[in-house]
Amino acid sequence: MPEGDSVHKLARRLDRSLLGRTVARSDLRVPSLATRDLAGREVLEHATHGKHLLTRFSGGVTLHSHLLMDGEWSVTRPGRRLPSRLLPDVRVALETTAGTTAWGLRLHQLDLVATAEESRLVGHLGPDPLHDDFDAAEAVRRLRAAPEVPLVGALLDQTRMAGLGNLWANELAFIIGRSPWTPVGEVDVERLVTLAARALRHSALVPGAYQVTTGTGRRGESHWVAGRQRRPCLRCGRVVQMVDEVPNDPANRRTWWCPHCQPGPLRPQR
């Protein structure tokens, strides 16, 4: 699932193919945007806020996309197209005058707004650790505002701090040594925010560090608990546990933890 570091790296990849290029043909395959045309506009910037991608064009227009669980962007070289099996998933096609084409697939949230009005779409989000003006104190304040919320649920709430997805939320809970269901008000929130910001920036900006949480990229050892259910904990050797998402509760996705290394409340009863 895309997280803030994923979207940041995607933006930089799209920069290499689209930045400064002029759109020759656009195709927005969602009913609300089907008649809109971006042809003739120059791609000025790919900005991100958390998991949101903001493609800014000349003339003060922004294309907003959110990848959710399975969305993606792909770029083809001049004269090349996507495999035919992927074409039904295309929601956006942006062909530039240089011949490169960016394809947005399975984009469940797609908007076209005036750049000056982007806040209508992302203004509710919390501070983003990948922004130069990241406000750590504001992230701490927002996390503390509801101290009873479970740790992982609080980290997944994008209105508190933007960019942390399920992988990072579970890994951070392990790193600070607390159960995922510990009320966030019972942890050192300043330290938590500092660790989260440092981890996300390291993952997004350092070559070879993408979503490696243990410090080693060796196969099967890059994460402390995420994806390691029924396998030995890399720290203590006990078995890592996993509980599936709670139906109809987006704040409780699949959760991994080591009961020995992460003392605190046990998983909720169903």
Q: What is the Cα–Cα distance from 27 to 104, expressed in whole angstroms?
A: 10
Contact 78, 41 (CB under 8 A): no
| 84-112 CB burial, b ≥16 within 10 A, e <16 | eeeeebbbbbbbbeeebbbbbbebeebbb
Choice among 41, 51, 178, 201 that is catalytic: 51
Q: What is the Cα–Cα distance from 157 to 125, expressed in whole angstroms?
A: 9
Choice among 41, 91, 228, 253 that is catalytic: 253
3-state secondary structure of 42: strand
Choice among 3, 95, 118, 171 that is catalytic: 3
Q: How many CA atoms lie within 13 A of 60 on its CB side?
A: 3
Is 51 part of the annotated catalytic residue set? yes
Is 253 part of the annotated catalytic residue set? yes
Ranges of H-type helices in 158-265 = 166-175, 189-205
Q: Which residues are catalytic?
A: 2-3, 51, 253
